[in-house]
Amino acid sequence: MTAIATVASLAACGSGGSDGAAADGTVTLEFAQWWGAELPAGNFEKLIDDFTAQNPNIKVKLLSAPYASTKQQLVTGAASKTLPDVVGLDGAWVNDFAKQGAITDLSKLMTDAKYDAGQLASQVQLEGKTYMIPVVNFVYPLFVNKDLLAKAGVTAVPSTRTEFLDAAKKISASGGDVKGWALPLDTAVPNGVQNDVMSWLWASGGSMLQDGKPNLTSAPVKSTVEFVKSLNDAGVIAPGSLTMKEQDKVEKFTNGQVGMMIDSLAHINLIKKNKPGLKFEVAALPAEDGYTGKRGIPYASWGIGISNSTKHKAEAFKLVSYLMSQETNAKLSTMANGFPGNKNAKPDFSDSDPLFKTAFDIYQQGYPANEFVGLPKSEDLMRSFDEQLQLVLTGKTGVDDALAKSQESWTSVIQ
């Protein structure tokens, strides 16, 4: 079986040490990621064993740890140029890692291997060079509690912002401590700006950038913030949002304390495990009234990249191309309850909850949207925007001033 390393050994590893080659020519690749920790035990290891069976001159040492631990170790490894040969990547890390020279240009490796990049659903690029390939995508649709909607007299899942505000008001007025929506804005983990705020912008085809530069004072961004403010002013947001984290939002939805939330598809099984009787469905995010174009849907990815300091780039790319092959990518996305990074791969929903098929249809009708992917210091950008949004929601500043200050802050980061 493939070797599984502990978090401690991940800290000590890196392609800056041994060159990973044995006397017989066999190459050992270290592959650090958090995926194996999130999949059923043994599933990811089996996929890697299939790869090594097909490539007997390559061995793979899996370094599997939870996301937070993996992030901490890879950030350290990137700074010291001691990353493992192959690395799982979050799109938010790519810009910094690439500018540090820690991850390699995959475009060149694809050309050298005569790899057909046309089969890839997306690539994360900087200055025309690919540094990350999304392997599996996890989308963030709208989750709605069917019982709470019915109790509030809402007969259809909201499709527009006006319908959403109306439904949120009715749910909040239906009694108890129930609110219409949950908005996590803890600045320590500011991904609520990406998943729960900017998602309204992308759902209406809008952008927070223009020619790669911040465009936060634009009418679409202002409309988005004003809409979130209108939800706050109407008293339909669950209390404690300024210090709420994503897991708190999911817990409130699972416990029937909020009627709607924007959340990762990956949490469907968790919600059903913790509250088997909860009746809920997923839908496309509501768009601006009158909008008829394709709707962007926020997503996060299991991305993959290759260390710039590895001495085995060709072998490392063999592993990447294997994981991105139509058959393997379909298997992996099915295991992960995510959507494939190979656009020809089709996940098998036969043994999955029907909601995954519903979400896949939503995904195919719209487009994946996450403009934070590839930006420098993306978490800091979210945090500075978050801080200004909190001032708006607490009545300490106006929308125009908040966006002007966010624009100034972002412009100092995105050159």
Q: Once rounded to an integer, what is the mean pLDDT over residues 150-165?
A: 97
What local confidence, expressed as pLDDT, does residue 41 receive? 86
Residues 6 or more apart in contact with residue 175 via CB below 8 angstroms: none
Q: Is the pLDDT of residue 9 over 50?
A: no
Q: Once rounded to an integer, what is the mean pLDDT over residues 47-56?
A: 98
What local confidence, expressed as pLDDT, does residue 413 receive? 95
Q: Is the pLDDT of residue 5 over 70?
A: no
Residue owning tokens 């009715």? 170
> What's the rounded Cα separation, in Å, for the pair 291 and 99?
38
Would the CA dihedral through 19, 21, 27, 33 be positive or negative? negative
Angle CA 80–305–189, to nearest 5: 75
Mean pLDDT of the chain, nearest integer:
92
Residues 188-207: tens digit of each pLDDT: 889 999 999 999 999 999 99
Q: Once rounded to an integer, what is the mean pLDDT over residues 197-224?
A: 97
Q: Once rounded to an integer, what is the mean pLDDT over residues 69-74?
A: 93
Of residues 19 and 126, more confidently modeled: 126
**Residue pair 199/263 in contact by the 8 Å Cβ criterion:** no
Q: Is the pLDDT of residue 8 over 50?
A: no
Q: Is the pLDDT of residue 395 over 90?
A: yes
Other beta carbons within 10 Å of 11: 16
Same fold for the domain at 3-139+300-368 and the one at 142-297+376-413? Answer: yes
**Residue pair 298/206 in contact by the 8 Å Cβ criterion:** no
Rounded to 5 degrees, φ, ψ at 193 are -65, -40
Q: Once rounded to an integer, what is the mean pLDDT over residues 235-249?
A: 96
Q: Once rounded to an integer, what is the mean pLDDT over residues 313-323?
A: 98
Q: Which CATH number, 3.90.105.10, 3.40.50.1820, 3.40.190.10, 3.40.50.920, labels domain 142-297+376-413?
A: 3.40.190.10
> What's the rounded Cα separation, in Å, for the pair 226 and 223?
5
CATH no., domain 3-139+300-368: 3.40.190.10
Other beta carbons within 10 Å of 187: 16
Q: Is the pLDDT of residue 129 over 90?
A: yes
